[in-house]
């Protein structure tokens, strides 16, 4: 297993990139620690596959260096990097049996048939493929084929890292859940460096110890699931993670206070001052889970009008109007509030973030 470092890595698919927009991947610095379970999370087209292929060596970056345990492998081909990669769609040999498919990466590396058989059986059991080992791969469903692909990725013990590019896309939702759990279990046992690409926040947050969030060719934040929830450093992280995402309200800073839709909220004076000098559009961010209904006149609260209340079983989700803005509020299930009512909501300062041009001001 290896520690992987990206130094000033950037990539443009077009030959002579000039502007920022020409880059599928903007210059970035990233370290993947040995044995870590990482998710690479972001919307379609943000550069996840590009980044993954640069790590595996399928793609040579336009700029920067890739290091494995301190050794520069930027121009080394995939075989020399000793990486297992699982793609979005199954990559298996149709003419071989499931067993032969799983044994192939091992035999290829000169493992004895006996040892290979033992490894194959172990992985097959993990992925619930034991009964299918003698079957020909061509007869399998897409879902089963992808399980075999996953097995081919997991079968080797000596890889520097395992990279998975949205591997559960073609998998049936029920099996998806099972495989996600298995993968986590495998990581806990083997502690390999694991990079799991997904556009699904639930998948990322349940599987990974650390999540690398990407948007528009940039890494916007790297953090634990908890950090991303509690301290989004970028408005993108705020609204992309969470369901619903963070409330983001355009605001202004006046005399050491934040003004939202004509209502004043006291906020740390230093933060207010830095927000003014940072420039760009100012927004106040607070997650629906952190807003609290409070009595009138409570410090750090605003007056809102409730427009909708949805009962979601264990809690309620209210929609409220603050001037021309809309807020989502998570309320306890016993909270009685009806559309048309006016109430006060507290924005507790520890959970309220001021953003300038989309970045958190601290």
DSSP state of 350: G
Closest distance of CB 32 from Mg ion, Å: 18
**Can you tell me the distance from the alpha carbon of 194 to that of 188, in angstroms, rounded to the nearest whole number?**
11
Among 36, 49, 214, 356, binds Mg ion (CB under 5 A): 49
Binding at 238: pick from ligand ADP, Mg ion, none (beta carbon under 5-8 Å per type):
none
Complex with ligand ADP: residue 11 or 99, whichever CB lies closer: 11
Complex with Mg ion: residue 49 or 82, whichever CB lies closer: 49
**Can you tell me the distance from the alpha carbon of 250 to that of 229, in angstroms, rounded to the nearest whole number?**
20
Which residue is closest to Mg ion by CB? 49
Q: Kindly indicate which of the ranges 48-56, 171-179, 246-254, 315-323 contains the residues binding Mg ion, using the contact rule CB under 5 A.
A: 48-56
Binding at 11: pick from Mg ion, ligand ADP, none (beta carbon under 5-8 Å per type):
none
**Can you tell me the distance from the alpha carbon of 53 to that of 72, in angstroms, rounded to the nearest whole number?**
16
Residues forming contacts to ligand ADP in the complex (CB under 6 A) are 13, 24, 42, 44-50
Closest distance of CB 214 from ligand ADP, Å: 7
Closest distance of CB 91 from ligand ADP, Å: 17
Residue with tokens 């040995």: 34
Helix (H), strand (E) at residue 40:
strand 37-41
**Can you tell me the distance from the alpha carbon of 277 to that of 297, in angstroms, rounded to the nearest whole number?**
31
Count CA within 13 A, CB hemisphere, residue 332. Answer: 5
Q: Kindly indicate which of the ranges 46-54, 133-141, 168-176, 206-214 contains the residues binding Mg ion, using the contact rule CB under 5 A.
A: 46-54
Q: Kindly indicate which of the ranges 44-52, 105-113, 178-186, 222-230 contains the residues binding Mg ion, using the contact rule CB under 5 A.
A: 44-52
Sheet holding 325-332, edge to edge: 292-294, 342-346, 301-311, 315-322, 325-332
Binding at 24: pick from Mg ion, ligand ADP, none (beta carbon under 5-8 Å per type):
ligand ADP
Closest distance of CB 46 from ligand ADP, Å: 4
Helices and strands counted in the chain (H then E): 10, 22
Complex with ligand ADP: residue 13 or 89, whichever CB lies closer: 13
Binding at 8: pick from Mg ion, ligand ADP, none (beta carbon under 5-8 Å per type):
none
Complex with ligand ADP: residue 54 or 253, whichever CB lies closer: 54
Cβ atoms of residues 300 and 348 within 8 Å: yes
User: Could you tell me which residues come within 8 angstroms of residue 202 by beta carbon, excluding any fewer than 6 positions away?
Assistant: none
Exposure string of 303-328, with b = 16+ CB inside 10 Å and e = fewer, is ebebeebeeeeebbbbbbebeebebb
Binding at 89: pick from Mg ion, ligand ADP, none (beta carbon under 5-8 Å per type):
none
Binding at 201: pick from ligand ADP, Mg ion, none (beta carbon under 5-8 Å per type):
none
Specify the length of the chain in residues: 362
- Name 284's bridge partners: 249, 354
Complex with ligand ADP: residue 215 or 235, whichever CB lies closer: 215
Binding at 301: pick from Mg ion, ligand ADP, none (beta carbon under 5-8 Å per type):
none
Complex with ligand ADP: residue 197 or 253, whichever CB lies closer: 197
Residue 44 Ramachandran class (φ > 0 left, ψ -120 to 50 alpha, else beta): beta
Complex with Mg ion: residue 49 or 146, whichever CB lies closer: 49
Complex with Mg ion: residue 216 or 319, whichever CB lies closer: 216
> What is the contact surface with Mg ion in residues (CB under 5 A)?
49
């Amino acid at each position: 297993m290896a520690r992987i470092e990206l130094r000033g890595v950037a990539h443009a698919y077009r030959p002579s990139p000039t502007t920022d927009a020409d880059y599928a991947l903007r210059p970035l610095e990233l370290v993947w620690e040995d044995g870590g379970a990482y998710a690479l999370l972001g919307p379609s087209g943000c550069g996840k596959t590009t980044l993954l292929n640069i790590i595996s060596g399928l793609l040579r970056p336009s700029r920067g260096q890739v290091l494995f345990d301190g050794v520069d492998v930027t121009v080394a081909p995939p075989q020399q990097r000793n990486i297992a990669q699982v793609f979005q769609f199954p990559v298996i040999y149709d003419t071989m049996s499931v067993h032969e498919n799983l044994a192939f990466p091992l035999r290829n590396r000169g493992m004895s048939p006996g040892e290979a058989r033992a490894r194959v059986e172990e992985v097959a059991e993990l992925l619930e493929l034991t009964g299918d080992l003698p079957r020909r791969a061509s007869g399998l469903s897409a879902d089963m084929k992808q399980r075999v692909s996953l097995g081919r990725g997991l079968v080797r013990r000596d890889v520097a890292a395992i990279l998975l590019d949205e591997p559960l896309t073609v998998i049936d939702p029920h099996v998806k859940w099972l495989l996600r759990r298995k993968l986590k279990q495998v990581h806990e046992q083997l502690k390999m460096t694991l990079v799991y690409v997904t556009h699904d926040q639930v998948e990322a947050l349940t599987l990974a110890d650390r999540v690398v969030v990407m948007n528009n060719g940039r890494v916007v934040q790297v953090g634990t699931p908890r950090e991303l929830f509690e301290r989004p450093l970028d408005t993108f992280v705020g609204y992309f993670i969470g369901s619903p995402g963070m409330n983001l309200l355009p605001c202004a800073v006046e005399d050491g206070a934040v003004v939202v839709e004509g209502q004043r909220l006291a906020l740390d004076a230093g933060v207010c001052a830095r927000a003014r000098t940072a420039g760009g559009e100012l927004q106040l961010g607070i997650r629906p889970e952190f807003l609290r209904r409070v009595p009138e006149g409570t410090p750090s609260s605003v007056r809102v009008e409730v427009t909708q209340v949805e009962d979601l079983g264990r809690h309620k989700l209210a929609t409220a109007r603050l001037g021309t803005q809309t807020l989502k509020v998570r309320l306890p299930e016993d909270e009685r509030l009806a559309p048309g009512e006016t109430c006060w909501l507290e924005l507790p300062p520890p959970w309220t973030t001021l953003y300038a041009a989309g970045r958190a001001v601290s």
